[in-house]
Amino acid sequence: MNDYISRLHAAIVNKRTAALVGIDPRWDQLPAPVIAAAQQRHPENGLLTRAAAYEDFSCRLIDIVAPLVPAIKPQAAFFEELGPAGTSALCRVIRRARDAGLLVICDAKRGDIGSTATAYAKAYLAGEDPDAAPFAADALTVNPYLGRDTLQPFVNTAQQRGGGIYVLVRTSNPGAGDFQDLTHQATPVFQHVAQAVEQLGQQTRSGGDYGIVGAVVGATYPRELADLRRQMPHVPFLVPGYGSQGGDAAAVAAAFDSKGLGALVNSSRGINFAFRQLPFAETHSEDQWEAAIETATLQMITDLAQGTPCGNLVSPSQQSTQD
What is residue 239's three-state secondary structure? Answer: strand
Check if 109 is active-site: yes
Residues 6+ apart with CB under 8 A from 75: 22, 23, 24, 107, 268
Residues pairing with 167 in the sheet:
142, 215
Radius of gyration of the chain (CA): 19
Distance of alpha carbon 271 from alpha carbon 300, whole angstroms: 9
**Closest to 88 (Cα-Cα) out of 76, 99, 104, 98:** 76
Distance of alpha carbon 322 from alpha carbon 96, whole angstroms: 35
Residues 6+ apart with CB under 8 A from 201: 210, 211, 213, 214, 232, 234, 235, 236
**Closest to 271 (Cα-Cα) out of 69, 44, 56:** 69
Question: Is residue 49 a contact partner of residue 72, using CB atoms and an 8 Å limit?
Answer: no
Distance of alpha carbon 24 from alpha carbon 18, whole angstroms: 19
The size of the chain, in residues, is 323
Distance of alpha carbon 265 from alpha carbon 94, whole angstroms: 19
User: Residue 104 has what DSSP assignment?
Assistant: E
Options 73, 109, 122, 259, the catalytic residue: 109
Distance of alpha carbon 264 from alpha carbon 304, whole angstroms: 10
Question: Is residue 146 a contact partner of residue 113, using CB atoms and an 8 Å limit?
Answer: yes
What is residue 224's three-state secondary structure? Answer: helix
**Closest to 94 (Cα-Cα) out of 106, 107, 79, 109:** 106
Give catalytic residues, as residue numbers. 109
